[in-house]
Structure 1
Amino acid sequence: MRIKILFASILAIALASTVSAQDTKAFLGRWDMTVTPATGTPYPQWMELTDDGGKIEGRVQPRGGAWHPIAGAHMDSGKLIVDVGQAGHGSEISWELTSPSADKLTGVEKRGDADGPTLAGVKAPLLDRPMPKKWTKPRSLFDGKDLKGWVPIEHVENNRWVARDGELVNDNPEVPGQKMRPAANIMTTEKFQDFKLHIEVNCPEGGNSGIYLRGRYELQVGTEGGKIPSHEMGAIYSWYAPPAGAKNDLGRWTTFDVTLVGRHVTVLRDGKMYHDNVELPGPTGGALDSNEAEPGPFYLQGDHHGVIQYRNITISVPKK
């Protein structure tokens, strides 16, 4: 009798584990998330969940800043509860998620016990495309005379971008002892899928900007203080640091040549390889949206500080 009871207990545990594994399987993978507050504009986030021996692990890319690991995740009444971390005021943030289909998530963000924004997720596309055999002749995205083809975004009431002496300049100098107002970013009116980008930039010492590819993946320009390598000049922000030993070397003109095909990017700085066909797991902080399958614009970050100068911005796309 005891043997039968023991066997039944083991079987029940095994079945429960199998059901739990089946329940969580629908949530695993990379997800392009859209967060919609009750008032205001929807904004992008990103999440990746994996199964490590029955334990769900993962990482989240919030609206801004760097990605971070989740604090934990568990199933509760058919929902996956993801402990995302703490909000600015100390409240614990969790995502309550359901999976209505194989490639979609829906849910709500909770801060403590209070319901917050709604959540919608789609399975991130593979974007696994071969390298094009031929490219078009490079053409200019900035004529050096005016801002035709570019439009300020965010904090547009404090737009500091000007065309001056053949350069696209964010004229937003830091004033010691003065709190800086957030200034506008600027983006192309044209959108791109795969491309080769050539761009030259002069970022002053202590300056901070960024070049957003498809409006979603930031190539860091300038510095965030030097403590985190993946936040310094030439990094794919928070995903990949510059090569070991690379210096920011600010206050002079420097050249970036970027090739983006699918979700693989190659970056050269002044002819030196910084990132060799590395995979972009997902959008970085500051992305315009999480629609990774779609073309997107270039945008240049101007909401930090420093008189950042850009010039000789050209683009090539795959030849049809």
Structure 2
Amino acid sequence: MYKIAAGIALFTSLLVPAFGQKGKSPLVGRWDFNITTPGGSRAAWLGVTEKDGKLDVWYQPTGGNVYQLKEFKADGAHLSATISAAAANRPAVMWELDAAGDKLSGVQKRGDASTPLAGVRAPELKRAEPKKWSKPEALFNGKNLDGWEPMGNPATSHWTVKDGLLVNEDHGANLKSVRKFDDLKLHFEVNCPDHANSGFYLRGRYEVQIESEPLSANPVERRIGSIYGRIAPKTELPRKPGEWDTFDVTLVGRTVTIVRNGVTTIDHQEIEGITGGALDANEGEPGPFYIQGDHTGGLKFRNITVAVPSR
């Protein structure tokens, strides 16, 4: 009996350190935020990973690209992070957050101003590719803007149809599809003039970058054919401003494949989170396409079609 009891005690003592080890931080995960501001709702994202007991925090602001946060402090389920440092003409922006299950809530502080923050754990969106797709359907009829609507003030829209092409004549409003989509196969052709910049958003949340700016203007993950700031093309194709580029984009869950001019440049890669300019952070929901018109004008589009999973 003593030997058996001693053996059990020894076995139990070996188990205690393992079961008693501190698990991963409750802050770890991908977090989606819809932030209410005086100008309307804005989407942001926070990604937290842990390695060797140390956290790594990345932040996607409402505009621009995702970036790593260098100044933060984690204490259990609480995170205090500097989103942007103070400058001569502006105070620092701080996030104070507490994790509880699948929610990350707190407040944003900018000087004396504060904004409530309510984040939710982003859905994994892992699913198999459909066995069959519908026949591609035209989203642009080549005659008018039926099926599309300008975002914001229509008076600032410079989208029109010329010679069967969808044209943005000048810097102005973005253009959004009336319909919303979940998993999809998108085809479009774009003629991007020199020094132009735009983007074609999937579900209104993930930007396929379109630009013909100098190479020095953007790192590879923000150049034409990228998922802006998130995924760089594995192959950089020759730039031909003023000529037609063809894009075939497949999005299933958060897995994306991009074929540009017949070359697979992004192959079944995961989009970690929303990109700057996302309409919302509701990643588990269908969303519209939208095309940026608020950067530069002069871009032309044609042959915009979509296929969806067959039921």
TM-score over 0.5 (shorter chain): yes
Among candidates 195, 198, 216, match of residue 206 of structure 1: 195
Contact 1:56 1:72 in 2 (8 A): no
For 2:269, the equivalent position in structure 1 comes to 278
Give the letter aligned to residue 125 of structure 1: P
Contact 1:108 1:115 in 2 (8 A): no
CA distance in 1, matches of 2:60, 2:157: 27
Contact 1:59 1:70 in 2 (8 A): yes
For 2:25, the equivalent position in structure 1 comes to 25
1:246-265 paired onto structure 2 within 5 Å: 246-265=237-256
For 2:55, the equivalent position in structure 1 comes to 56
SS at match of 1:42: strand
Q: CA deviation at 1:124?
A: 0.5
Contact 1:232 1:248 in 2 (8 A): no
| CA 1:168–1:121: 2 relative to 1, 3 Å | same
Among candidates 152, 173, 197, match of residue 150 of structure 2: 152
1:1-320 paired onto structure 2 within 5 Å: 25-37=25-37, 39-75=38-74, 79-86=78-85, 89-99=89-99, 101-112=100-111, 114-172=112-170, 183-227=172-216, 228-320=219-311
Deviations 1:225-249 (A, max 9, x none): 3221222111111112223442332
Contact 2:126 2:253 in 1 (8 A): yes
SS at match of 1:157: helix
CA distance in 2, matches of 1:166, 1:192: 25
For 1:8, the equivalent position in structure 2 comes to none
- Give the root-mean-square deviation of aligned CA atoms: 2.1
For 2:17, the equivalent position in structure 1 comes to none
TM-score using structure 1 length: 0.85
Contact 2:93 2:109 in 1 (8 A): yes
Contact 1:219 1:237 in 2 (8 A): yes
Deviates more, 1:309-318 or 1:51-60: 51-60
Give the letter aligned to residue 188 of structure 2: I
Give the letter aligned to residue 70 of structure 1: L
Contact 2:129 2:252 in 1 (8 A): yes
Q: CA deviation at 1:224?
A: 4.4
Contact 2:73 2:81 in 1 (8 A): yes
Q: CA deviation at 1:76?
A: 5.6
Q: CA deviation at 1:105?
A: 1.4
| CA 1:87–1:243: 2 relative to 1, 3 Å | farther
TM-score using structure 2 length: 0.87
Deviations 1:196-218 (A, max 9, x none): 11101101011111100000000
Give the letter aligned to residue 195 of structure 1: L
| CA 1:245–1:42: 2 relative to 1, 3 Å | closer
Contact 2:199 2:207 in 1 (8 A): yes
Contact 1:222 1:248 in 2 (8 A): no
CA distance in 2, matches of 1:213, 1:93: 29
CA distance in 1, matches of 2:159, 2:86: 32
Contact 2:194 2:213 in 1 (8 A): no
Unaligned regions of 5+ residues in structure 1, if any? 1-17, 173-181
Q: State percent identity of aligned pairs.
A: 45
CA distance in 1, matches of 2:117, 2:213: 31
Contact 1:135 1:319 in 2 (8 A): yes
Give the letter aligned to residue 170 of structure 1: N
CA distance in 2, matches of 1:296, 1:124: 16
CA distance in 1, matches of 2:31, 2:76: 22
Contact 1:153 1:187 in 2 (8 A): yes
Give the letter aligned to residue 274 of structure 1: T
Q: CA deviation at 1:40?
A: 2.6
CA distance in 2, matches of 1:258, 1:77: 41
Unaligned regions of 5+ residues in structure 2, if any? 1-19
Contact 1:97 1:107 in 2 (8 A): yes
CA distance in 2, matches of 1:260, 1:78: 34
| CA 1:202–1:78: 2 relative to 1, 3 Å | closer
